[in-house]
Amino acid sequence: MTAPTLPVGKPPGVTVAGWAAYALAATVVILDQALKQYVVSGLGLTVGESRPLAWPLSFTLVRNDGISFGFFQTHAPWTRWALAGFALAVSLMLVAWVRRADRMVTGVACGLILGGALGNLIDRVRLGAVIDFVDVHPLVFPWIFNIADSGITVGVIVLLAENLLLSRRVAA
């Protein structure tokens, strides 16, 4: 009986794009958690309090027990663990998937999403809700969000754009 062989051109381990994703995810988590700590402790904001920085940006402290941008606020205790479980499942799937990414844009997109999911997961487990603070409502954007939410949003947009562009190239 012979040992299974690996496909040619796909060495075992993590690709360069995979390592880039992991590094970017760690950067997003560190930045997200550091800024949340600064807003709560350094600025001393209380929930609902706002501190203008430079137009159009303010830091406004909000505890979000819904999903990104405050959607689906239920205040039910089970949502904390359901959303934490979902974030953990998504994170584990991304860790497994991105290790074989062969395009850097895929690694960047997945790194942003992974970092955002982990940043918000840490808040849910530690605090019972996600800390949101980035407020740009003068730009007609009514939601208050955080760095993790931004990572998720930008990562999803990049992933969708990449797939849209790839499908157009294949069709052409």
Catalytic residue (choose from 32, 65, 123, 132)? 132
Cα radius of gyration rounded to whole Å, the chain: 19
Q: In this structure, which amino acid lies at residue 36?
A: K
User: Is 149 annotated in the active site?
Assistant: yes
User: Is 132 annotated in the active site?
Assistant: yes
The β-bridge partners of 52 are 58
Complete DSSP assignment for 19-51: HHHHHHHHHHHHHHHHHHHIIIIIS---TT-EE
Catalytic residue (choose from 32, 65, 135, 149)? 149
What is d(CA 38, CA 26) in angstroms, rounded to the nearest whole number? 18
Give the active site residues: 132, 149
